[in-house]
Structure 1
Amino acid sequence: MKSIRIILENIGVFRDRREYILSTGLNIIYAPNASGKTSLINGLKVLMLPSLTTEEIAKALNDYEEKGRVKLVIDDSEFSVDLIRMPDGTVRAQGRRFTEDSLIERVAFIDLGSDLVAAILAGNHDLVKSILREVTGVSHVETILDTLTRLKSEYEYSFQARRKEYESKREVYVEQRQRLTERLENIRKRIVEILQAPQLEPARKKMEELESKRNTLLEIQRRLREQKLEITNRIGLLKRDHDLNKSELDIHKREREKIVKELDELRRAGPDMRRALEILLKEVENLQTERENIISEIREKERMLERRKEVIDYAVCPYCGAPIEEDRIRSEIYELEEDLEKLRSELKKIINAIEEKRMEINEIREKAERRLKELEEELKKIDERIVNIERVLDTVDGKIKQENKRLAKIEDEIKDLDKELNVVNVQLEVLRSEVPINLIEEYRYLTNEEQKLYEELDSINAKLRQLDELYNELRVLEDKLERVRLLQEYFQIRLNELTRATVERINEVILKHMKLLKLAELEYPVLVEDFTLTLTRAGGTPTTLAELSDAEKAIFTILMTLVLKEYVAGEFPFYVVDTLMEFIDDTRAAEVLKYLMEAAGNDKVIIVTKTRPFTGEPRLLSQEDILVNTIPSALTQPSR
């Protein structure tokens, strides 16, 4: 950087255009109070800090002006931000900033408004620790870790609750199935015993054939019912997917209708908007005409004023030869000056009105075009989502139709089996008429009971299969829980490594600035692994931040911000210290400034404000008040 110029227009205490030249190295703004030191710093903030609040932006603009500008010219590069006071009193900043890094404010602009500066000066150890973790990025990893911890807790709770539900239900169903199976085996044994009874000898062979056929049909029927249940479950899941997608589709369609409606309204409002713009443009044109007329009138009156001032000391007018009446000429000069003041005031109002109208025109255009573009992009995205969902719905509908066909086929097969079973049962009834009545009654009861048990077993098996679905969800949840655990372990390791490495790096950089640490009357090191400050006086006496003097706190603040800037924004060339030097005694202030001069070298721009003793004559900041790589003699010479 060979050339650095800062141009201020209506910034802070300055109601006109001011230009200051800065240089690489140390720039000490050495001027009395109320001369504009902080105004210059606020102008730099507007140009370099994207995270300023509306109040901070408003504070930079002169209270009596409607607009201002800050411009920074570095070699062939130019950065400029305009400040415009809006009708509601707020101030808007627009233009090209030097940087968009929000961290710069915390490590490169050091004043009493900085949270780190305020925390150190207040001796608030915990707040300093928190800010250090935040600026270095450690707290961001901690936030991720906290999120993962909460997510892990939620997953663990959900997993444990579902696993408990699964295990309790499965235990009940398995127990019921075991009981039914045992009961069924006993019934089958008794049926076999009945079929082998001597009283059934005449019809045994035929009954055994029919019973075997009946059992085969029952087994086939049981398998078909299982298949039917599986298909019914699949259809239920597909319908659920269908309903979810249909619900999402309906939401998107309603959103689409709203967007289309708003688009139509915007397009219909086009002629009205054009008419409004035409009216505004016409108003601007009229104002410009009025401005030109006033400018012409001002120029004419300025010529008249200039002539009267020229001839007031003459006895006769050099232009017309008439005698000069001094009182009348002075009265005319006074009236012309009053008229000019009114005309200039009116001209300023017209210029502001033109600027406001132009801003209103640009705002209408930008707002309409931006909203139209946003709506068109939203409509395109929603149309894509609708097409994708409709494609999914078609696929789901096709699967449901296929499953319904399979279900209908199985139901037909079950009906055919029922018919066959009825035939077999009728044939068995005929044969039972040839068998003793007591055996027949028992046989009939057992076969009915067997049928019921088969149905109950089918129901229990179906419930166990439904539990298998819950188990699959449980497995998915368990996988998520495991992934979160692994991520938590990973980020915990990374946090420990980052914290340790960051503290080591900060302590290393502090070691480079050992002279500042000595000026603060402290010993190395300053931080331990968890960012706790371990402050020690010379000789090894432990101390705390609150026990430091104001001068020591100020020097410690400069040390820590220099270290943080080198750690997180080493390439940023500016470092600004405002007001803080006032807390430091002259002897140490001179040493700190010498050190900053060395630290700046030939590639950094360090700006420090220092109050010059008041000489009795109020004045604004001038170029002579900016000392480049020079320590004020008042600090280096011993006081007498």
Structure 2
Amino acid sequence: MAKLRLSVRGVGPFTDRKEYLFSPGVTILEGNNGSGKTSLLKALYVAISWSEDEGKKSVLSSLVNDELKEIEIELFEDKNIINRIRAIKQEDRLILQEAYEQKFPQKIEKYAFVFLENTLLTSAVINNDLTKLLRSYSEELEYPHLIVMRENLEHVLRGVLDRLEETLDKMQTNIRELKKIREKMEELKQQYIEKEHEKGKLEDAKKKLREKMPEEPKKLDEEIDQLRRKKDELLREKSDIEEEIGDLKRKIENIRKDLEVLKNLNEEERGILDHLNQQLAKLNKEKQQKEEARIALEKEIANLQLQRIIYIQFERMIKEFSELMYSSLSESYCPIFYLEKRECPISRDITTKFQSKESFENYLLSLIERQKQEIDKKREEIEKRRAELEMIVNRVRELESKIDELNTKIEQRSKEINEKTKNLRELEARMRELENKHETIRNKIHELSAEIAHLEARRKEVVDKKTEKELAVIEEKIGNIERELRELLEDMRVLQREENNIKEKNQDLLSYLKLLYAEALLLKKAIAIVQEKIKKEEEEFVKKLEEELNKLLAQLNYRGITKIKVNYEPRTRQITYLIFRDGILTDYSSLSTAEKLSITLITIYVLLNTKFQESWKVFILDSYGELLDDTRFQKFLQALNEVARTHSKYIIVTKVASDAEIPRVVTI
């Protein structure tokens, strides 16, 4: 089994080079107080877990021999170097010359190197704060695949909730914009009503003036008014048609762009399809050739197999009757597996070639062996051909799958192109219809304008100038009001379009909001499921922890402590111990220091043995053996040794030995 070899110079009290070997299992590092046991273990710790952080540099600096002012640490596993650290110290400043960065799990470092400076242990043992220690450990009891899954789901959920909030903000902004548009619309409607009322008054005044006029001008005015009303109706219809034509042009332009994109995609996909079909044709041709070659080889190997049976029989004959064959060979003799005499390697002067029957026998056996090798070679070749054929078949299947997928996509794309083309034709037909109608209305408006002008000229001839002047003023005012009314109508149409656009946007946002809400609910449900799995994993571990704690506690035989119950609070994920002495729940503070330390060390042992079995390799336990009595400490070491030897772990503990001025290694 592999051994760790630690070589140090300039570490603690050591100015000369010292080497120590550690075997898998429990190793005791014995030495008197101040002999350098802790310095050696810290050197081992630094070599295993070195990184360029201030904590490690501080530990390394504290190990440098004050006299030598330089330090060298080497760690090997058999002949493989794990680390080599060299540094010098100048005026309390450490200058690193060489070191290998180690990818050592931080969580294992917290448990696997147990020195007296370990604040968690000190707090647990001295300050009666075992909960803090266990809480710190429980933070490491995470289950990476579940935690990563939960964190990923929570990250996605945060993104969904952010999008939900963003979407709601957009909807609120749109609602505020709608409110402004509606207020503006009401204002325009009120203005429109006022203008209509003003126009009505002018129409009444115009009517009274006409009543004073002779009969002929009255008739002319009525005809002119009627024509103007028709003209206004046609102008409104013309405006509506122009607006619809504008919408149709935009739709047609968008469809044409979509069609261009779809056709380009279709052409690209058809090009890819042609290329794939060419590849498929080549592969099918190659497949056919390989298949023919395979069939030919199988026929050949069938013949060779038959010959092999003959060779095996002939080999037996040679071993049994070689002397008889050697003495009775004639010119006509040749083994039956040579089908043509000219191929026979055995000539009539056989006795001149071979001096003994043994050499003749060896010669015949070598011929048979060559034939066997040829069969094996052919068999290897056919297996190779089969593998090549299988690879081609797989490639053909893959290509056929891609071609089917691409054909489906092209078919769907073609349907989409056909639908859009049909829609485009319908829109173009509708636009032509509207353009013809627009042209007809424009001609009618032109005709009406000409007729109105003619009637107005005739009217001027028959009406008196004073009345004409008054009517002209009223007509001008009515004309201005009608222009303002048209502008108001156009403004209201624009606002109506804006309102419709915002409503459509809000409707889309609402649909998106529903999707986001459904996604958020699913994510929350998934997170709850993962959290429940984590809770179950933790509960199972707590159960295992309790079993192992009580199992090892029974081996240590602490008088009076009959049971340790692990109390787990799922809501806070806090782990605490309930101690029972003679079956009665006991306050933790009533335990002795040795009992507290034992429970703490047992906890570390259980964690390493159950949760982090695959992660740690070296476990260092420094200066704690003195706090336990020898019997219990030996039992604790025996439990550790069982784990270490089973899983090839190195467990190193220190022990005071007054007869050892220089630390020595004792293997259990």
Q: CA shift at 1:601, angstroms?
A: 2.7
Which residue of structure 1 aligns with residue 178 of structure 2? 170
1:124 matched residue in structure 2: 129
* 1:35 corresponds to 2:35: yes
- Work out whether residues 578 and 609 of structure 1, in 8 Å CA contact, stay in contact via their aligned partners in 2: yes
Give the 3-state SS of the residue equivalent to 1:90 in structure 2: strand
> Secondary structure at the residue paired with 1:82?
strand
User: Alpha-carbon deviation of 1:20?
Assistant: 0.9
| Number of residue pairs matched by the alignment | 438
1:371-415 per-residue CA deviation (whole Å, 9 max, x = no partner) reads: xxxxxxxxxxxxxxxxxxxxxxxxxxxxxxxxxxxxxxxxxx9xx
- Residue 34 of structure 2 aligns to a residue whose secondary structure is coil
Q: Retained in 2: the 8 A contact 1:25–1:597?
A: yes
1:592 to 1:450, Cα distance in 2 relative to 1, 3 A? same
Amino acid at match of 1:202: E
1:626 corresponds to: 665
Q: Which residue of 1 aligns with 2:593?
A: 550
**Is the CA contact (8 Å cut-off) linking 1:72 and 1:79 kept in structure 2?**
yes
Q: Deviations over 1:78-135 (max 9, x none)?
A: 2122132376813537444675322221121122333542442233355334312321
What do residues 460-484 of structure 1 show as CA deviations (whole Å, max 9, x unaligned)?
5336636766876787677667656
Cα distance in 1 for residues equivalent to 2:195 and 2:68: 103
CA apart distance, 1:455: 1.9
C-alpha spacing 1:26/1:458, structure 2 compared with 1 (3 Å): same
> Hey, what does 1:112 align to over in structure 2?
116
1:526 equivalent to 2:562? Answer no
TM-score by length of 1: 0.56
CA contact (8 A) 1:48 1:99 kept: no
Give the aligned residue type for 1:13: P
In structure 2, how many angstroms separate the alpha carbons of the residues matched to 1:98 and 1:123?
34
1:56 to 2:92 alignment: no
Cα contact 2:48–2:83 (8 A) shared by 1: no
**SS in structure 2 of the partner of residue 21 of structure 1:** strand
CA drift at 1:531: 3.6
Q: Please name the residue that 1:206 is paired with.
A: 227
The change in CA–CA distance for 1:450 and 1:91 in structure 2 (over 3 A counts) is same
Structure 1 residue 33, shift from structure 2 partner: 1.4
Residue equivalent to 2:623: 579
Q: Secondary structure at the match of 1:601?
A: helix
Instruction: Show the counterpart of 1:273.
Output: none
Asked if structure 1 preserves the Cα contact closer than 8 Å seen for 2:87 and 2:96, the reply is yes
Task: For residue 575 of structure 2, give the secondary structure of its aligned residue in structure 1.
Answer: coil
Query: TM-score of the superposition, structure 2-length normalised?
Result: 0.54
| Cα offsets for 1:187-219 (capped at 9, x unmatched) | 999999x8xx99764235633442233113332
Q: 2:638 aligns with which of 587, 594, 601?
A: 594
Paired residue type of 1:574: V
Alignment correspondent of 2:238: 217
- Shift of residue 147 of structure 1? 6.6
Give distance in 1, aligned partners of 2:655 and 2:511.
70
Structure 1 residue 89 and structure 2 residue 93: aligned?
A: yes
Unmatched runs of 5 consecutive residues or more in structure 1: 231-412, 630-640
* 8 Å contact kept, 2:28–2:655: no
Match of 1:461 among 492, 497, 501: 497
CA distance 1:179–1:509, shift in 2 (3 Å): same
- How far apart in 2 are the matches of 1:552 and 1:150? 47
Shift in Å at residue 143 of structure 1? 7.1
Deviation sequence 1:281-308 (CA, Å, 0-9, x none): xxxxxxxxxxxxxxxxxxxxxxxxxxxx
User: 1:543 and 1:421 mapped to 2: Cα distance?
Assistant: 108
**Per-residue CA distance 1:246-278 (angstroms, 9 max, x = gap):** xxxxxxxxxxxxxxxxxxxxxxxxxxxxxxxxx
State the Cα distance separating 1:160 from its structure 2 match.
4.5
Deviation at 1:148, TM superposition (A): 7.2
Amino acid at match of 2:666: L
* Secondary structure class of the residue paired with 1:137: coil
Distance between the aligned counterparts of 2:601 and 2:444, measured in 1? Answer: 96
**Distance (whole Å) between structure 1 residues aligned to residue 658 and residue 20 of structure 2:** 22
CA distance in 1, matches of 2:241, 2:79: 90
Q: For residues 163-205 of structure 1, what are the alpha-carbon distances to aligned partners after superposition, in whole Å with 9 as ceiling and x for unaligned?
A: 433333324434654775798799999999x8xx997642356
Per-residue deviation at 1:565? 2.1
Q: CA deviation at 1:448?
A: 2.1
For 1:551 and 1:609, locate their aligned partners in 2 and report how far apart those are by CA, in whole Å. 17
2-structure distance, mates of 1:76, 1:454: 92
Superposition deviation, residue 35 in structure 1: 1.0
Unaligned runs of 5+ residues in structure 2 are 208-217, 252-434, 460-467
Match of 2:547 in 1: 511
**C-alpha distance in 2 between matches for 1:222 and 1:549:** 94
**SS at 2:566's partner residue?**
coil
Distance 1:60 1:147 in 2: 45
Given the superposition, is the C-alpha separation of residues 613 and 24 from structure 1 closer, same or farther in structure 2, using an over 3 Å criterion? Answer: closer
After TM superposition, give the deviation of residue 594 of structure 1 in Å.
2.6
Matched with 2:484 is: 448
2:549 and 2:88 map into 1 onto residues whose CA distance is 43
Determine if contact 1:4/1:74 at 8 Å carries over to the other structure: yes
Following the alignment from structure 1 to structure 2, what is the Cα–Cα distance between the partners of residues 220 and 546? 93
Q: CA separation of 1:97/1:543 partners in 2, compared to 1, >3 Å: closer, same or farther?
A: farther
Return closer, same or farther for 1:125/1:173 CA change in 2, 3 Å cut-off.
farther
Residues 91-490 of structure 1: pairs in structure 2 closer than 5 A: 91-92=95-96, 94-96=98-100, 100-121=104-125, 122-137=127-142, 158-174=166-182, 176-177=184-185, 201-203=222-224, 206-220=227-241, 222=243, 430=453, 441-442=477-478, 444-459=480-495, 461-462=497-498, 465=501, 483=519, 486-490=522-526
CA RMSD of aligned residues (A): 4.8
In structure 2, distance between residues paired with 1:595 and 1:423? 111
- Write the letter of the residue equivalent to 2:172: K
What is the aligned partner in structure 2 of residue 494 from structure 1? Answer: 530
| Per-residue Cα deviation, 1:485-513 (whole angstroms, up to 9, x for no partner) | 64454334323311320341243155245
- Shift in Å at residue 458 of structure 1? 0.7
Q: 1:480 to 1:428 in 2, by over 3 A?
A: farther
Find the aligned partners of 1:526 and 1:93 in 2 and give their Cα distance: 48
Secondary structure in structure 1 of the residue aligned to 2:606: helix
Give me the whole-angstrom Cα distance separating, in 2, the residues matched to 1:85 and 1:468. 75
Distance 1:33 1:218 in 2: 106
Which of 607, 613, 621 aligns to 2:651? It is: 607
Instruction: Find 1:79's aligned residue among 74, 79, 82.
Output: 82
- 1:611 & 1:545 partners in 2: Cα distance? 28
Q: CA deviation at 1:36?
A: 1.2
Offset from partner CA, 1:577-621 (integer Å, 9 cap, x none): 112223223332232223223332344344343442545xx8221
Q: Which secondary structure state, in structure 2, belongs to the residue aligned with residue 526 of structure 1?
A: strand
User: CA 1:43 to 1:484, structure 2 compared with 1: closer, same or farther past 3 Å?
Assistant: farther
The 1:191/1:462 distance shift into structure 2, 3 A limit, reads same
Distance 1:26 1:517, change over 3 A: same
Q: Determine the C-alpha separation between the residues in 2 that align with 1:166 and 1:555.
A: 68
Distance (Å, rounded) in 1 between the aligned partners of 2:96 and 2:562: 45
Whether the 8 Å CA contact 1:151–1:484 is kept in 2: the answer is no
**In the aligned structure 1, how far is the partner of 2:191 from the partner of 2:577?**
78
Match of 1:70 in 2: 73
Aligned equivalents of 2:580, 2:656: Cα separation in 1: 32
**Letter paired with 1:626:** V
Moved more, 440-449 or 462-471: 462-471
Q: 1:549 and 1:612 mapped to 2: Cα distance?
A: 22
